[in-house]
Structure 1
Amino acid sequence: MPKSFPSEDASLLRALEGRGPMNMERALQVMDVHGLDGIVVGAPENVFHMTGHWPQIARTRIGQPPGTFALLTRRDIEHLGLVTSSFLYFYTWSDGRTREDVEPWLYNGLGDDGDFSPAPRYDFCADRQDVPLSALESHRRAVLDTGLAQRQSFHDAGAALASAMQDMGLWKGRIGFDDPVIQEVASRHDMPGDLVQADNILREIRLVKSSLEIALMGRAAEANVHALNAVGAAVRAGATHRDLQALYLAETAARGNKAVFLNVDRVSSELSGETIADGQALFLDGVSHFMNYHGDFARTVFVGEPCASARRAAEASAFGWSAIREKLRPGLRYSEIVAMGQEAVSKKGYGVTIGFGPHSVGLAHTDEPGELAGGFYRKPDIILEPGMIISVDCPVLDTGIGGSAHCEDLMLITADGAEPIHSLHEPVIII
């Protein structure tokens, strides 16, 4: 059984059944800045952000281009469109949901043959009437029947997507999109409007969290903290990196999270068979998620008595992070955060190199827009705003000091400062 939060989990899951986690006020602001009339998405993290539904058939889990799409318009931001197959609408979307704010355009098969004629109802899971339908079966069938009653079913995904864009007023104007298949469908059907690649725009929306996102982040982060602390308490001389990574998988799962990675002593490779030694200082940096929202937490572990240089490095990392944490507030730039940490450590005379690295956390470990640099993303000098959740990585970069050290928490930027979204703990775990 999970070790924490069953009642809180139920409340959060009920909230996701009724709405997507996206901050719609923020979405309107960002769309206005970029002159967008609407957004059409197929990437699973963006469909989830809009609707609260993570499509199963997608690159990240099945390895295929998207077959489920979400659509929103600036003129009616609370009314969403959903394009998906009748099969998936029955089998995945309908579970736990009755949503009047999401209008479906359903299709029978993947592809785009240009056939907009009504398609026959996709006949699957026929009711044999040997026994009464279960509550789940009845709910699924009722949701599908309601969806198909709203409009015709389409032969394929291309026709459904083009029709949804037309019906929602997204066929003209300036429309953001996130996946090439959306652009291909629009081009094939001679869409007269302008399409704008919106991956960065969607990341810009995700920077400022809704109240539901903040709650989900807090839940994810707290479980992640306890999971990593459990791993830290179990560290012993002779344990391998793989031992600790396997334990982190188990500890996050026991708390309802899913592990993404555990960095052990600056090593995140799952191939590492390095062994922990007595007298070693090492950091643990763990990332896991709950309902796709990530926790990110790091602490230093002393296995026995570390050497003086390793102890000093751990102290410097914790001191630098503490100095930053007290001064976080809206209006600060990332570059100012870095300078703040460097100045604090330098003035204290630690003589230790620390790589202060601020980053937003949310649906991704680094969840922020980037500056385009030859097709790559380069970190911009982002300005903190209320509603952002950030981490500032504080790893010691020096080698030859008898180990490694790191300190990291997740902070919510408030109207006049910042506060942790999880419980705080000592910077060093002593074994």
Structure 2
Amino acid sequence: MKKDIPFPEIPHEEYDLRLKKIQEKMQETGFDALLLFAKEDLTYFTGFRKTWYFPLLHGAIIPQKGSPVLIVPQICHVLAMHMTWVEDENILPWGGADHWHLPPEPTGVFISKLKELGLEKGVIGTEEGGPAYIYMEASFSEFEKIKKGLPKATFTNGTDIIWSSRSIKTDWEIGVMWEVGKITVNGIQETVKKIKIGMTERELLYNLEKSFIDQGAYDTPMHGEMMFRGGARHYSMSTGRPSNKKLEAGRQLYFDGGASLRGYRVDMQRMVWLGEQSELEKRLFDIAEEGQKAAEEAIKPGAKISDIHAAAMTVIRDVPKDLKAQGVECLYSNLFMGHSLGLYFHEPPWITATDHRILEPGMIFTIEIPALDIPKFRELGNYPEDVYLVTKDGYENLTSAISREPWIVK
């Protein structure tokens, strides 16, 4: 067992905890191994996190018993040994110059190791056919070659047990999420203070990202996303990159996204007005806030995810008569009212009417309840979003340090 590595992505005890948890779930569900290619799954289960993106095949085999195997391009071999608690002999490189005497392509390495582990007839869980945001980072031909190399093995969807582990955050993950939430809140607060009529959207983004970096949220590659949206006069509901367009009086913005730290992401939203709100905007603002509070009241361990959605819909399902008279036909544009967070912005479970999974302590998700001016988009409306941790007694709001009251820049 490794006792020390130069720059571990996760603590040794965290690695052991995750491995023990997933292997117990594999025993319960009849999986002999998991075959993983998604970079977030590699990070979660092995501690290997790419320092830059390139399309060469990386993957891992998590057996039901014993040590994981990590398979990486030769250029990442030493990096993987210095970054992950996977035993060095189980980190298998491929490719590189001839003098390395390594297999020239990766699929044979996977096939040979799966056979060596006695999995010729095993049940092997994969990332195919699962919920959004587990994308196998293997080409179709590479995956097919691996399956053809083990014709008697059963390859089947393993994303349910993957997410059963990843959806309940560990104490270490919760600590990271609190930290990145604080960085995001501070960044938005500092950026709004610096908003001036005439500055560009890119200058706004620069100020925000500089704040993130100054607080320690920088990495290779850089992560974290932030979008600015604003009303039909500018972008309707599109989410283009911040441009060199100058901010004008009467503009409405909303900040959407957050910083990233150690690979973990936060996603929150706050509204900013460059000038006073219109009466329609004030009305929409109040409705969204009422819906957000109704959804918050439904967060409790033992409740269903769909209960949160139902609580919000009691507020925003029907358009009030005064708004109908002004041409507002609908208040919401999406079927989901939030999503989980972690190594990706949008992780399952999503806050929908059809997801009846039970809330458990350790889940972290957003709630985002809109009140929009559909279909005219004369005003952008209101779309608050906060990040919530389910606890044994209820919930904690990781981003509550920043008010949801109207932010008006004059």
> What TM-score results when the alignment is normalised by the length of structure 2?
0.76
Shift of 1:100: 6.0
Shift of 1:71: 1.6
Report the residue type matching 1:168 in the other structure: L
Contact 1:342 1:354 (8 Å CA) reproduced: no
Output one character per residue of 1:307-332: Cα deviation in whole Å (capped at 9) or x when no partner. 22212322332232123223301233
Shift of 1:86: 4.3
Structure 2 distance, partners of 1:20, 1:287, is 26
Structure 2 distance, partners of 1:175, 1:314, is 49
Question: Does 1:390 pair with 2:385?
Answer: no
1:10 alignment counterpart: none
Aligned in 2, Cα 1:33/1:353: closer, same or farther, shift over 3 Å? Answer: farther
2:46 alignment counterpart: 51
Aligned in 2, Cα 1:424/1:324: closer, same or farther, shift over 3 Å? Answer: farther
Aligned in 2, Cα 1:311/1:88: closer, same or farther, shift over 3 Å? Answer: same
Shift of 1:423: 4.6
Question: Does 1:39 pair with 2:26?
Answer: no
Q: Among 299, 319, 333, which residue is 2:270 paired with?
A: 299
Structure 2 gap ranges (5+): 1-6, 128-135, 218-222, 231-236, 324-329
Structure 2 distance, partners of 1:184, 1:168, is 20
Equivalent runs, 1:345-384 vs 2, <5 Å = 353-354=331-332, 357-368=337-348, 380-384=355-359
Output one character per residue of 1:224-270: Cα deviation in whole Å (capped at 9) or x when no partner. 22222222222233344343334333333333333323233344202
Equivalent runs, 1:24-173 vs 2, <5 Å = 24=19, 27-28=22-23, 30-31=25-26, 34-55=29-50, 61-62=53-54, 64-66=55-57, 68-76=58-66, 79-90=67-78, 92-95=79-82, 99=85, 103-109=89-95, 122=100, 156-173=105-122
Structure 2 distance, partners of 1:269, 1:120, is 45
Aligned in 2, Cα 1:22/1:388: closer, same or farther, shift over 3 Å? Answer: farther
1:177 alignment counterpart: 126
Report the residue type matching 1:93 in the other structure: A
Structure 2 distance, partners of 1:315, 1:249, is 30
Q: Among 260, 265, 273, which residue is 1:289 paired with?
A: 260
Q: Among 150, 162, 186, which residue is 1:226 paired with?
A: 186
Shift of 1:102: 6.4
Shift of 1:49: 1.2
Shift of 1:81: 1.4
Contact 2:227 2:242 (8 Å CA) reproduced: no
Question: Does 1:330 pair with 2:301?
Answer: yes
Contact 2:108 2:146 (8 Å CA) reproduced: no
1:141 alignment counterpart: none
Report the residue type matching 2:364 in the other structure: I
Contact 1:392 1:409 (8 Å CA) reproduced: yes
Aligned in 2, Cα 1:333/1:240: closer, same or farther, shift over 3 Å? Answer: farther
Structure 2 distance, partners of 1:120, 1:270, is 43
Structure 1 distance, partners of 2:157, 2:56, is 17
SS state at 2:90 partner:
strand
1:145 alignment counterpart: none
Contact 2:9 2:262 (8 Å CA) reproduced: no
Count of aligned residue pairs for this structure pair:
366
Contact 1:39 1:73 (8 Å CA) reproduced: yes
Name the stretch that deviates more: 397-406 or 260-269. Answer: 397-406
Shift of 1:55: 3.4
Aligned in 2, Cα 1:310/1:414: closer, same or farther, shift over 3 Å? Answer: same
Contact 2:77 2:91 (8 Å CA) reproduced: no
1:312 alignment counterpart: 283
Question: Does 1:430 pair with 2:408?
Answer: yes
1:142 alignment counterpart: none
Aligned in 2, Cα 1:28/1:321: closer, same or farther, shift over 3 Å? Answer: farther
1:375 alignment counterpart: none
SS state at 1:363 partner:
coil
SS state at 2:224 partner:
strand
Aligned in 2, Cα 1:401/1:29: closer, same or farther, shift over 3 Å? Answer: farther
1:411 alignment counterpart: 388
Contact 1:21 1:49 (8 Å CA) reproduced: no
Report the residue type matching 2:249 in the other structure: D
SS state at 2:259 partner:
strand
Output one character per residue of 1:40-98: Cα deviation in whole Å (capped at 9) or x when no partner. 112211111111112357xxx22x242x221212234xx221122444212x113355x
Report the residue type matching 1:365 in the other structure: F
Structure 2 distance, partners of 1:215, 1:156, is 39
Structure 1 distance, partners of 2:294, 2:207, is 32
Q: Among 155, 161, 164, which residue is 1:195 paired with?
A: 155
Structure 2 distance, partners of 1:162, 1:238, is 60
Structure 2 distance, partners of 1:103, 1:169, is 18
Structure 2 distance, partners of 1:43, 1:163, is 21
2:225 alignment counterpart: 260
Q: Among 205, 230, 235, which residue is 2:195 paired with?
A: 235
Structure 1 distance, partners of 2:200, 2:370, is 21
Identity across matched positions, percent: 21
Report the residue type matching 1:94 in the other structure: M
Report the residue type matching 1:418 in the other structure: Y
Structure 1 distance, partners of 2:261, 2:314, is 36
Contact 2:33 2:125 (8 Å CA) reproduced: yes
Output one character per residue of 1:361-401: Cα deviation in whole Å (capped at 9) or x when no partner. 1121111168xxxxxxx984544222211101123221555
Structure 2 distance, partners of 1:281, 1:27, is 46
Report the residue type matching 2:359 in the other structure: L
Contact 2:68 2:86 (8 Å CA) reproduced: no
